[in-house]
Amino acid sequence: MKKVTFYLASFLIASSLLVTPRAVEAQSVDATADSEIIKTLDRNCSSVRVAIKNIHTNDALTRVNVGQRYNSISTKLMARLNGRLAINKLDSSKLVNITNEFESTRLKFNSNYNDYDTAMTDLQRANCSNNVADYYQKLTVASDARNRLSEDVKVLDDLLVRYREEVQVVKGFAFWEVKWIG
């Protein structure tokens, strides 16, 4: 477990170093910084490849688990609750809107994961000892793809918080409506 954490931390640190704001196009990037990273990749090629392989394997397992959870939340919880509220003639329009946004973001997450998986597969197939510059470029692509996934997860988690808050509002409204009628 410590090795996995070390590899993940290494990749995240490397990713954050590689994904720096660039003022102009890729051709005008600071050549010295790139050459230092390329030299580091060249020196540590075999350990970087092992770390990338471990990260890719762990991310695949995590993606399956997270993807299944998001799918279950969408189909088994959100959709069913929205349906019950509609049957009981309670206003659930905000919940439906959040559910639609959640579902479209979930599909975007799936698509972005496929892009990330492709980038990681390309990275694993590349050989950093033969062409370090190409390997660095593929590492940057994979890092960008992983960052997009991270953003998707943040959006999905925020939507879940909003959904829960709105459920509490509907729950309170339904309680008072039942109490007032009864």
pLDDT tens digit sequence for 103-115: 999 999 999 999 9
pLDDT score for 173: 65
pLDDT value at position 176?
46
SS3 call for 126: coil
Mean pLDDT of the chain: 80
Residue 29 is predicted with a pLDDT of 42
Residue 44's CB is within 10 A of a number of other CB atoms, namely 14
**Cα(93)–Cα(96) distance, integer angstroms:** 5
Q: Is the pLDDT of residue 5 over 50?
A: no
* Range list of H helices, the chain: 2-18, 31-43, 45-72, 79-87, 93-125, 132-181
| Lowest mean pLDDT across 3-12, 30-39, 80-89 | 3-12
Q: Cα separation of 71 and 149, whole Å?
A: 16
Average pLDDT, integer, range 88-95: 90
Give me the residue spans of the domains in the chain: 2-15+31-181
On whether the CB atoms of residues 71 and 135 are closer than 8 A, the answer is: no
What are the φ and ψ backbone dihedral angles of 79, each rounded to 5 degrees?
A: -60, -45
Phi-psi region of 127 (alpha: psi -120 to 50; beta: other; left: phi over 0): beta
Q: What is the pLDDT of residues 116-134, one digit of tens each?
A: 999 999 999 998 888 888 9
CA distances from 180 to 79, 151, 172, 173 (A): 28, 44, 12, 10
Residue 12: per-residue pLDDT: 34
